[in-house]
Structure formats: C-alpha cells, structure tokens
Amino acid sequence: EVQLVESGGALVRPGRSLRLSCSTSGFKFDDYAVSWFRHAPEKGLEWLGFIRKKAFGGTTEYAASVKGRFNISRDDSKSIAYLQMTSLKTEDTAVYYCARGYCTGVVCYWGQGTLVTVSS
Amino acid sequence: DIQMTQSPSSLSASVGDRVTITCQASQDINKYLNWFQQKPGKAPKLLIYDASNSDPGVPSRFSASGSGTDFTFTINSLQPDDFATYYCQQYENLPYTFGRGTKLEIK
C-alpha cells in the first residue's frame, strides 16, 4: 500500500525555520518525483514545488511565493523527502502536504498533511 | 503565471441534483487540467486528470470536459458524500496553479 506521512509541523515565530519530512512506503521511492502543496486557512490550495527523481537530475522547481526561502530535498536511501522552510512569515501558516510524483496524470497519492502555524 | 478562474465560488444543491463547475485558464493549457475534491481536514483527492479522464475508482457520476482555456466539471445525481470543495489545477506550465475552489453545500 502506498503511504506518505508528513511530519514536523509546529508553531513557530515569524522569521524562524522549520523542516518538514515526508516519509514514504509501499513504492520504489527513487522512481518518483515528490511534490509539496499547502492549504492555508480560508484559502485555496497552493502548489509549492517538486523535486525530480535522481535519474532526472534530482532538480527542483518552486512557486514564486516560496522560492529562495523553501528548499526541497530527498534522501532516497531513507525514502524521505524534506521541505526546509526558512524566514517563515505569518502567511505561511497552512497545512502542508506532500504527494507522490507531479500529480499530473493518473493516480496522485497524498499524505494526510501537517500543520504549520507561524505566529508571534 | 497562468490564472485559473473557477466559478461559482460556492454552490447550494440538493441530493439528486446535477451541478456544473467551470474553470477558465488565462491562456491555452491544452488538456492539462486536474479536478480535485477536498473535504475538511482531509487531503485533496484527484478525481479527473487530463481534463476528462477519471482516476480509477472515481464514481461515474463525476465527469469533466474541455480543452484549451474552457473546462467544465459535472456531478450527476449528487450524493451526500459529494458535499465538499472542488478545485481545478493546471499543469501545462510551471508554476502549477489552482482555481480558488467551489464549495458545494447542501441546500
């Protein structure tokens, strides 16, 4: 069974950093990209970025709203992807989700999400 | 960035009704459009990809069509489990962008 589990969400002060993890199982992790999304309170869904699989260079793409502040990485030996968030702002408060692949075709597995609250 | 204009933003309907949601892209996105369903406290669920293809296991009452800039999503014979928020998302160009969502409520 394919599973993705996000962790690391917390209450943090503006300007601080936080790293989220996306632990996976049930599939060959290094065959897939990993995408990150978020859902802010009373707002819609937002695509944050993805990391390609190593065979495609393991390169990353980001939304403008997080580029330069967020960094996506992966550890294929552990089947985990990370979202490193720096210079956090109150508007980064959201539930953060990881997903297998790019979610640009058939079957898109998501984790259950982890809540990040940025507040003083 | 490609802007996705989704309407209506909210919709009230009854069990058994047929509802339609539209999504308009600010430029041609070919067929590269997803439709997601999201319930409170849950992850989004992909219902439709490539504008009109149903994900495996999605009930046949959900359908969608369109290409280029104009897309529609239809639910035939609403069931109680269908009351949720629906989002369109384009993946023709980076950054992938979502519509603002349609909240479907029980009348």
Mean per-residue pLDDT over chain A, rounded: 96
Q: Do B99 and B88 touch, CB atoms closer than 8 A?
A: yes
Give the Å distances, CA to CA, from A75 to A36, A50, A84.
15, 14, 13
Q: Which residues of A55-73 are buried (b: 16+ CB within 10 A; e: fewer)?
A: eeeeebbbbeebeeebbbe
Residue B44 one-letter amino acid: P
Separation between Cα atoms, residue A105 and residue A118, nearest integer Å: 33
Residues in chain B within 8 Å Cβ distance of A97: 43-44
pLDDT at B78 over 90: yes
List of chain A residues with pLDDT < 50: none
Q: What is the pLDDT, as a whole number, of residue A101?
A: 94
> For chain A, which residues lie within 8 Å of any Cβ of chain B, measuring from their own Cβ?
37, 39, 44-47, 61-64, 97, 102-108, 110-113
CB contact under 8 A, A105 and B87: no
Work out the number of other CB atoms within 10 angstroms of the CB of residue A113. Answer: 22
> Which whole number is the average pLDDT over B32-50?
95
pLDDT of A42 reads 83
